[in-house]
Amino acid sequence: MEKRETSQTWKRIAMSFFGVIVTGFCVGAFQKANLGADPFTCFVTGIGNLFHSTYSTFYLIITGILLVGVFFVEKHYIGIATVINLFFTGMAADLMRTILDSLFPAPGMGARVVMMLFGVFGTCFAASVYFTADLGVSAYDAWSLIAGNKYKILPFRICRIITDSICVLTGFLCHVTIGVGTVITALFMGPVIQWFNTNVSEPFLYGKK
């Protein structure tokens, strides 16, 4: 039993690293595709525009505020993956962007659509993997999980659609360009994450039932 628990712990840690790194790769793919950023990026960019400040400045401010809220409401969602997310997502995104810039200096629409789709489904898969690992999530991700799992306001997939849609609307009102990738992510990320949870991540961690 102890050996099994140790094995599962290492699985969770590996899943956390994998999920965060792939999330970063997907952010880089979204940036290169230039067909609309993910909802949280739209939100942060919009608030930054409102105060005439940079994305990086308001990313730290908004993430910090959300993280403090999570700590007081349900600190269970703060863990090693939260720290990994904070330090490695940006580096992974920059690496992916560098690789794509060298391989596709001026990508056509077909290549951009493929990058966008990789960003959409890769982000959903990565989120599912590190949500299931249950060693902490990003401050933004935590709020839809809290609403769906702790307070059971609505199913998680619906809570995720609502939080993503609020972010997109805020970005739009603050003059952020909304692309097809943004809309697809906002409407379908919650349900697709739930599908990956049920069919991939949970069977991998706990074994097929």
For residue 140, what are its two tokens?
């933004």
- What pLDDT is stored for residue 1 in this prediction? 56
* pLDDT value of residue 162: 92
Cα-based torsion angle of the residue sequence 173, 86, 153, 169 in order, rounded to the nearest 10 degrees: 10
The most confident of 44-48, 116-120, 134-138, 173-177, by mean pLDDT: 116-120
Collapsing DSSP to helix, strand or coil, 53 comes out as: coil
**pLDDT at res. 2:** 60
Q: Tens digit of pLDDT for each residue in 183-199? A: 888 888 888 999 999 99
Mean of pLDDT over the chain: 86
Q: What's the chain's Rg over C-alpha atoms? A: 17
CB 87 within 8 A of CB 97: no
Mean pLDDT of 98-126: 92
Give pLDDT, residue 196.
95
**Whether 40 contacts 26, CB under 8 Å:** no
**Greatest alpha-carbon span in the chain:** 56
Interval 74-98: pLDDT, tens: 988 888 888 887 778 778 888 888 8
With a CB cutoff of 8 Å and minimum separation 6, the contacts of 112 are 32, 33, 34, 35
Question: Rounded to an integer, what distance in angstroms lies between the CA atom of residue 94 and that of residue 104?
Answer: 15
DSSP annotation of 77 = G
Of the chain, the end-to-end C-alpha distance in Å amounts to 18
144 in Cβ contact with 20 (< 8 Å): no
Cβ 120 vs Cβ 35: under 8 Å? no
Measure the CA–CA gap between 77 and 148, rounded to whole angstroms. 13
pLDDT tens-digit series, residues 120-166: 999 999 989 988 988 888 889 899 989 988 888 888 889 988 999 99
Read off the pLDDT of each residue in 177-182 and give the average, rounded to a whole number: 86
pLDDT at 56 over 90: no
Q: Is residue 73 predicted with pLDDT exceeding 80?
A: yes
Q: pTM of the full predicted structure?
A: 0.80
Quote the pLDDT of residue 3.
59
Q: Output the CA angle 141-192-25, nearest 5 degrees.
A: 65
7 three-class SS: helix
Written as six digits, the tokens of 164 are: 């993503």
**Residue percentage of the chain with pLDDT more than 90:** 31
